[in-house]
């Protein structure tokens, strides 16, 4: 997706050989026009998949997932990382180790919003080692939902998240795939 790649080249900051910062349009400030384009692209790629719901993780998955849900006309559910007073039981949960925060947390979704009749598109902002996506896969499996695929805004192709998902027979669609972040530069696949 050329507009996304241009944005990454213009505004992305390479923090190390494995971490890219995109706070100016995805992880802190959000570019709504770009998110709309992202929503249209995912909607086109999964148009024949019979998707009934989009499932993502708070917080950075919410903007691209919501725009995709708007274009597809389906609800968007985000897994919460902390249990709140209003989300205490009746949950599907999974443990996720965060690549950027280096900590393990439990993600949860209420059983009210996903069930065995659903065909879900799982989405996230980044795909690195696949832990967040695999947590969503586990939750969808617990609910008995069918997984149409995983939609990722930025995949770091030099990490193994995509192969882990594909080994399990899961379709992965990434809008920008980064080959390397060496010498402070973003190289796309
Ligand atoms: P994974 O679970 O695939 O190892 O990592 C994906 C999660 O970690 C995403 O939800 C994202 O928030 C975060 N993440 C992984 N790599 C990066 C990165 O290079 N930059 C940013 N901003 N977030 C990342």
Structure tokens at 42: 């995912």
pLDDT tens-digit map of 70-82: 999 999 999 999 7
Do 45 and 69 meet the contact criterion of CB atoms below 8 Å apart? no
Number of Cβ within 10 Å of residue 29's Cβ equals: 10
Angle of CA points 42, 45, 48, to nearest 5°: 115
Q: Is the pLDDT score of 101 beyond 70?
A: yes
φ/ψ of 82, rounded to 5, equals -130, 140
Number of Cβ within 10 Å of residue 151's Cβ equals: 29
Largest CA distance in the chain: 48
Q: Where are the domains of the chain?
A: 39-178
Q: Is the pLDDT score of 58 beyond 80?
A: yes
Instruction: Specify the pTM.
Output: 0.96
Burial 122-147 (b: 16+ CB within 10 A, else e): bbbbbbbebbbbbbbbbbbeebebbb
pLDDT at residue 89 in the model: 77
Residues 29 and 126: their CA atoms lie apart, in Å, by 16
Mean pLDDT of 65-69: 98
Classify domain 39-178 at the CATH topology level: Rossmann fold (3.40.50)
**Cα 161 to ligand 1 centre (Å):** 10
Q: Is the CB of 155 under 6 A from ligand 1?
A: no
Q: Is the CB of 94 under 6 A from ligand 1?
A: no
**Cα 62 to ligand 1 centre (Å):** 14
pLDDT at residue 85 in the model: 64
Among protein residues, the one with the nearest Cα to ligand 1's atom 20 is: 20
């Amino acid at each position: 997706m050329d507009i996304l790649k241009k944005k990454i080249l213009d505004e992305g900051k390479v923090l190390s050989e494995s971490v890219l910062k995109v706070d100016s349009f995805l992880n802190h400030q959000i570019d709504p026009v770009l998110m709309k384009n992202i929503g249209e692209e995912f909607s086109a790629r999964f148009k024949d998949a019979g998707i009934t719901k989009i499932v993502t993780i708070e917080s950075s998955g919410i903007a691209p997932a919501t725009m995709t849900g708007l274009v597809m006309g389906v609800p968007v559910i985000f897994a919460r990382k902390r249990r709140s007073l209003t989300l205490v039981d009746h949950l599907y949960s999974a443990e996720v180790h965060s690549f950027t925060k280096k900590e393990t947390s439990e993600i949860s979704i209420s059983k009210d919003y996903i069930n065995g009749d659903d065909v879900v598109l799982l989405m996230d902002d980044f795909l690195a080692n696949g832990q967040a996506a695999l947590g969503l896969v586990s939750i969808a499996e617990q609910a008995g939902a069918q997984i149409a695929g995983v939609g990722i805004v930025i995949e770091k192709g030099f990490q193994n998240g995509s192969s882990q998902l594909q080994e399990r027979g899961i379709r992965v669609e990434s809008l920008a795939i980064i080959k390397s972040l060496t010498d402070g530069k973003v190289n796309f696949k």
